[in-house]
Amino acid sequence: MKTLVIALGGNALLQRGDVLSADNQYKSIAKIAAAIDTLAEHYRIVIVHGNGPQVGLLALQNLAYEEVPSYPLDILGAESQGMIGYMLSQQLSQNVNGLPVSTILTRVLVDKNDPAFCSPSKYIGPVYSPERQQELERQYGWQMKLDGSYLRRVVPSPAPKSIQDREAIELLLEKRHIVICCGGGGVPMVESDRGYRGVEAVIDKDSVASLLACELDAEYLMILTDADAVYQDWGTPQARALRQVTPDELRPFAAPDGAMGPKAEAAISFVEKTGKKAFIGALKDALDIVREEKGTCIRLA
């Protein structure tokens, strides 16, 4: 049976602007489970999810209790893996015809000299009005950037080098489990004199999903997002969906500061390294995307 790695954005678990409540996340997760239900009949499924809104909420809750020193971001990332993995597995277990669902707390190795540590770019947490930038930076010591018309906290996002818990993922796939792993990009680890240690960062989940798909020798990588495809001339009357593209044709969309950039870069990397197909599209169209009836398919010429 072919293996399909699915990357879900943190905003797929919580719609932008919604209250960061468990009920709201379960509503979104119910839609995710319905989309994955049919896919699980035909593929071995691996789910990688984002955690930007959730880990940001944990950081805020962390700061609110001043009697205990704040926990570092790697521990909060691990917490978010457990929280989201639990919620996903609870809902999926009711929708996938008795298939077992397992969540793996996943560690991912990064380079301690990655330049990303000097240039935070990964959005986490809730959105704020731009007028609050100086207040938030002064109060918490955060770095803030505009995310569209909103303001959000940014943290370092180093590139993933290897997935340390891949063997456990492979063993579960062999037993026909649906595997939830590399949540929030995985817990970022660096080499040290005493083995590996966690670092203050959040790895991009699309980049990790691409790496994992390569390491698992998966047939397909599917990146699910708000948009139903990659669009040429997005936001203009001339906008048109791109259905079949090569990595070279997609490369102009891989700008690091764009919402589509990390997704395009991850898809390009997987296709060029493996010669296999990647897809970008909307959650609701998941089955049609892998059939190449909707979304954008990235393949070698």
Question: Is residue 138 in some structural domain?
Answer: no
Give the CATH number for residue 190. 3.40.1160.10
Tell me, yes or no, whether 135 lies in a domain: no
263 is catalytic: yes
- Give the count of domains, the chain: 1
Is 112 part of the annotated catalytic residue set? no
Amino acid 257: pLDDT: 62
Residue 10 annotated to the active site: yes
pLDDT per residue of the chain (301 residues) written in tens, 0 to 9: 899 999 997 666 777 677 888 898 888 888 888 888 889 989 999 999 998 888 888 888 888 888 888 899 999 999 999 999 999 999 999 877 789 999 999 999 999 999 999 999 888 878 899 999 999 999 888 899 998 888 999 999 999 999 999 999 999 999 999 999 999 999 999 998 888 999 999 999 999 999 999 999 999 999 998 889 999 987 788 889 999 999 999 999 987 666 788 999 999 999 999 999 999 999 889 999 999 999 999 999 7
CA-based torsion, 126, 9, 288, 280: positive or negative: positive
Which is the catalytic residue, given 205, 276, 277, 294?
A: 205
Q: What residue numbers bound the domain in which 262 lies?
A: 3-110+162-298
Q: Quote the pLDDT of residue 120.
A: 92
Given 11, 50, 184, 294, the catalytic residue: 11
Any domain includes 125: no
**284 has catalytic annotation:** no
**Residue 149 resides in a domain:** no
Kindly state whether residue 136 falls inside one of the protein's structural domains: no
In a domain, 41, yes or no: yes
Question: Is residue 143 included in any domain, yes or no?
Answer: no
**CA 118 – CA 293 distance, rounded (Å):** 42
Does residue 197 lie within any of the structural domains? yes
Q: Which of 294, 232, 237 is nearest to 264 (CA)?
A: 232
Q: Which of 9, 10, 125, 183 is catalytic?
A: 10
- What distance in Å separates the CA atoms of residue 53 and residue 16, rounded to the nearest whole number? 9
pTM of the model: 0.91
What pLDDT is stored for residue 280 in this prediction? 96
Which candidate in 51, 263, 281, 294 is catalytic? Answer: 263
Q: Is 277 noted as a catalytic residue in this protein?
A: no
